Structure 1
Amino acid sequence: MDAARDAHDSAAERMLAVASTLANDPAVLDGVGRPDPTAVLQPYAVSLMDELRIDFITIMAPDRTRFTHRNPAQIGQSYIGSVDQALAGRSHTETSTGTLGPSVRAIAPVQDPGGTVVAMVAAGVSVDRVAIARNAQLPLVGLIALASLLFGSGVSYLLSRRLRTATLGLGTDELARMFVFYDSVLHSVREGLLLTDRRGRLVLYNDQAAHLLHLPEPRPQAPVPAAQLGVPGSLRDLLASGRQAIDEVHVTDNRVLVVNQEPAVPPTSRDTAGTAPLGTVTTLRDHTEIESLTGELQTMRTLTDALRAQTHEHSNRLHTIVSLIELDRQAEALEFATRDLQQSQQLTDSVVGAVDEPFIAALLVGKAAQANERGVELSLSVDGPVDTQGIDPGDLITIIGNLLDNAFDAAAPSERRRVRLTLSHPGAGRAGVGIVVQDSGPGLTDAERSRIFDLGFSTKDPAARSRGIGLALVRQAVLRLGGTLEVDNDVANDGGARFSVFLPAVPPWDSASADQAGT
């Protein structure tokens, strides 16, 4: 149907072009004005019909009288067909039956310079010739249709294969069911989950990850480069690198996270070496409570060690006094006991008088005995009344105890073997306590200072599992209390490390307000 219509339209346009060209030909206008138009126009029309391979070219007068025709016997006869539009000065095409049978024809007016229609030109081809042309096009049309069908089938097959590979052979129902299950798992698990692409951009995370890392609420959004995330630097570097991580510990301002990271590889490619991963899957486990219990255990261990050292020291002194008495040297025994009592009482009085906190006083007295046992000179300096009201005693024990333990370890191998603890009031209208711990050890390098508070990092024995915990707990306690923590080397004195802490005191009314809010 389309081929027939196209062939008919093409023939009609061709005949209209021929008729219009002849109608505008000056030779035709000159010929129709002569006394015998047929003598001039018939040879011209016959040569054009043979040259253009068309069935007829009829030049006629306005009254339909033919001047030319394929059959000379029809010259002088009336033209059979519609001429109304041509007489009105308009060209047109039609399919009509004439002396040569059904034909597709076009009629164009011949006008003089004044615009008067003085003749008409009709050009046409028989319907049989149009059908032949149409039939000649059918094989080409068939080939084009067949080629289109084959091309479409090939593209459909390749596209189907590509989609099957991309979806791991899963159908639409399976994909929909998997999406529902995976989305439910993503938001219901109690571990944080983050997905990054191969360019290190965060593309998806669940509610728990948003809670642990203080990220915005999970929602569909454009991938975000890991380097732009507001997360701790070590975790940001891990996400951006895409490397494998197994039970790595990363510390935020208020949390301890155990992080695992694995490349995301399709199941069918896991046994194929060198397969490029699609990205990484990172899980976060919150170990804050466990580390808090570890901190409390470390605090209790610090107090226990201090009390054990104090007990050991008093036991040695008691043995000394008993030995002096047995040697009948009562005067020396009395003098030794009095001097020891005065020294212990002086330390106790100075601590208790400055720090109105019995736990801290007990800790410092015990630490003095522990330092004496280890051969380290511990000097305590208290500058004015220290305001610890509102500060959790457990956090104070964690901070002071771990800083002193770290200083004892650093000073023990040195020649001077000295540690200095300074408790001070910040002054200038500020409420709180300043804590400075200095040791006579070798000090810290720039690289060590940058990592000294990382969980698991130690300047002593990195292989020991108990190392690298104390200072990380100190950092967390200071940040939790809203304080500041700095470390440098005390080059003006012993040259060892110096840790400076400031803890702001919470006013009693704020504590009461917080308690009321909690109830």
Structure 2
Amino acid sequence: MATTRRARVRSAASRVFALLIGSVLLIGAAIGVFLTWEAQTSARQEAEHVTAAIAHALSAAPLVRSAVTAGDRPAAEASLRAYVESARTGAGLDFITVMDRDGVRLTHPDPAQVGGHYLGTIPADGRTLTEQYTGTLGPSVRTISPVHDAGGAVVGWVSAGVTVESLAGALLRRLPVIVLLTLAVVALGAVGAVLARLATRRITGDLNARDVRDAVAGFESVRTLGEALRAQTHEHGNRLHTALALLELDRKDEAIALLSDSSVQSQSVIDQMTLRDGDPTVAALLLGKASQAKERRVHWQVVVDPTAPRADLDPVDAVAVVGNLIDNALDAAGQDATDDAGRWVRVEIAPAEGGEVAITVSDSGPGIPADLGDRVFEHGVSTKPSDRAGRGVGLALVRDVVQAAGGSITVTNDPTTFRVTLPAAPAKARRR
């Protein structure tokens, strides 16, 4: 059963692939819709430009002007029929209608409509007008332009138009190109998704997202513990060498005082952390970080409320959360331009409302830039120099671990303070 349930959890590589494929499909759909809209808009604009150009050109043509000005309707119809039809077919329009001043048709693609009244807007001010109107051929995009006599008076009108049905046909003719472009984008995106899956699988294998996060947390825990132990070992080595030198100089009292002071400081943290429900793993981490702070000339302070419960985190996650917060605080305090006495880091572990535990880490550093705010918890975002590897991972990992445990994390300035609130471990786990 456990194997079956595990098989149902998709690996991180599969999740990356599914996310990228979904994004590619959405982008492809958006591109298809945009190209369709663009083609439709382009076809309509083209129709408006062509109808306006033809209507304006014919209204100024000498043959049209003389036929309309003469006032002989049968003669005008006969002289204009072939001329207008040739212009219509040459321009690819659905109709060109020449009218007298009152809008009575002198030409029309349907001979039965000749002599009828024009269906559309005839501008009262004699201007050229482009509009969409439903006429004898259905809805159409049309332009009507006035015909002037030698004195400039309006003596007739020319209307040229393309039906909406023809525009739809033009759009349909462009659809294959649109579909091919969309499919090409989707295909390229799919290839990229497959390559991304292969690259992710080389790194994560068949691990799921939680396992990957746990692996990163484990790496961060080992890293921060390693740094802490190195600093502690270095400090203890220095103390031991100094004590040995004092013993060789027959200054036993000073050697004993030096070693006793180190023991008292370490025992104080151990007593605070292991009393009642404290976490010995975090205690070991704090001891190491104390040595690291001393190396960096940062004043170190740890306050542990003996009534604080242990957080409901396994040791790896606990070290990842506390260690990364302290590492960031030490880095920030080290940037402080003040003297050594002004550089400090304070760690406090105390009970919180609802039986939870609050871990607060403050420092004397310059603070979080106003333009970052809560973005410091995003992957790849960091206030530290960009030339150092691993930037933008620690706080994002802390947020992921805390949220997965059902806790919360906040950050404030003046001074910079990160506060993590976590559920307490069950009573059996605390006793164990």
TM-score (norm 2): 0.52
**Cα 1:328–1:502 shift into 2, 3 Å:** same
Q: Deviations over 1:417-467 (max 9, x none)?
A: 10000100014xx22210111010001122222310111111112243311
Pair 1:340 & 2:255 matched:
no
2:312–2:425 contact (8 Å) kept in structure 1: yes
Who is 1:499 aligned against? 418
**Cα 1:477–1:278 shift into 2, 3 Å:** closer
Partner of 1:328: helix, strand, or coil? coil
**Cα 1:405–1:355 shift into 2, 3 Å:** farther
Give the alignment partner of residue 196 of structure 1, picking from 8, 26, 29.
26
**Cα 1:437–1:510 shift into 2, 3 Å:** closer
Partner of 1:442: helix, strand, or coil? coil
Who is 1:326 aligned against? 248
Distance in 1 of aligned mates of 2:32 and 2:393: 31
Who is 1:308 aligned against? 230
Give the alignment partner of residue 326 of structure 2, picking from 400, 404, 407.
404
Who is 1:464 aligned against? 388
Partner of 1:486: helix, strand, or coil? strand
Distance in 1 of aligned mates of 2:16 and 2:305: 52
Structure ranking higher in strand proportion: 1
Structure of larger gyration radius: 1
Structure 1 residue 191, shift from structure 2 partner:
3.9
Q: Which amino acid aligns with 1:423?
A: I
**Cα 1:269–1:199 shift into 2, 3 Å:** closer
Partner of 2:225: helix, strand, or coil? helix
Pair 1:296 & 2:126 matched:
no
Partner of 1:455: helix, strand, or coil? coil
Q: Deviations over 1:101-152 (max 9, x none)?
A: xxxxxxxxxxxxxxxxxxxxxxxxxxxxxxxxxxxxxxxxxxxxxxxxxxxx
Q: Deviations over 1:380-413 (max 9, x none)?
A: 1112422126432222111100000000000012
**Cα 1:400–1:389 shift into 2, 3 Å:** closer
**Cα 1:279–1:453 shift into 2, 3 Å:** farther
Q: Deviations over 1:155-211 (max 9, x none)?
A: xxxxxxxxxxxxxxxxxxxxxxxxxxxxxxxx99964421115674999xxxxxxxx
Partner of 2:377: helix, strand, or coil? coil
**Mapping 1:391-470, distance limit 5 Å:** 391-414=313-336, 415=338, 416-427=342-353, 430-470=354-394
Distance in 2 of aligned mates of 1:189 and 1:371: 40
1:197–1:279 contact (8 Å) kept in structure 2: no
Q: Which runs of 5+ in 2 are unaligned?
A: 1-13, 34-176
Structure 1 residue 338, shift from structure 2 partner:
2.1
Structure ranking higher in helix proportion: 2
**Cα 1:426–1:280 shift into 2, 3 Å:** farther
Partner of 1:447: helix, strand, or coil? coil
Distance in 2 of aligned mates of 1:479 and 1:467: 21
Partner of 1:443: helix, strand, or coil? coil
Partner of 1:437: helix, strand, or coil? strand
Distance in 2 of aligned mates of 1:300 and 1:359: 12
**Cα 1:279–1:199 shift into 2, 3 Å:** farther
2:272–2:305 contact (8 Å) kept in structure 1: no
2:298–2:345 contact (8 Å) kept in structure 1: yes
**Cα 1:324–1:399 shift into 2, 3 Å:** same
Distance in 2 of aligned mates of 1:440 and 1:196: 47
Structure 1 residue 510, shift from structure 2 partner:
11
In terms of mean alpha carbon deviation, does 377-386 or 318-327 score higher? 377-386
Q: Deviations over 1:254-294 (max 9, x none)?
A: xxxxxxxxxxx989769xxxx99689947485763334312
Count of aligned residue pairs for this structure pair: 253
Partner of 2:275: helix, strand, or coil? helix
Partner of 1:386: helix, strand, or coil? coil
Give the alignment partner of residue 382 of structure 1, picking from 293, 297, 304.
304
Partner of 2:304: helix, strand, or coil? strand
Partner of 2:419: helix, strand, or coil? strand
Q: Which runs of 5+ in 1 are unaligned?
A: 1-186, 204-264, 512-519
**Mapping 1:93-492, distance limit 5 Å:** 191-192=18-19, 193-194=21-22, 195-197=25-27, 200=30, 281=189, 283=193, 288=209, 289-353=211-275, 355-388=277-310, 390-414=312-336, 415=338, 416-427=342-353, 430-489=354-413, 491=414
**Cα 1:316–1:189 shift into 2, 3 Å:** closer
Q: Which amino acid aligns with 2:350?
A: S
Partner of 1:436: helix, strand, or coil? strand
Who is 2:118 aligned against? none
Who is 1:100 aligned against? none
**Cα 1:189–1:381 shift into 2, 3 Å:** closer
Distance in 2 of aligned mates of 1:291 and 1:305: 21
Structure with more contact order per residue of length (Cα contacts < 8 Å, sep ≥ 6): 2
**Cα 1:392–1:510 shift into 2, 3 Å:** closer
Structure 1 residue 310, shift from structure 2 partner:
0.8
Who is 1:70 aligned against? none
2:329–2:345 contact (8 Å) kept in structure 1: yes
Partner of 2:372: helix, strand, or coil? helix
Structure 1 residue 366, shift from structure 2 partner:
1.1
Who is 1:208 aligned against? none
Partner of 1:502: helix, strand, or coil? strand
**Cα 1:510–1:464 shift into 2, 3 Å:** closer
**Cα 1:355–1:324 shift into 2, 3 Å:** farther
Distance in 1 of aligned mates of 2:410 and 2:237: 38
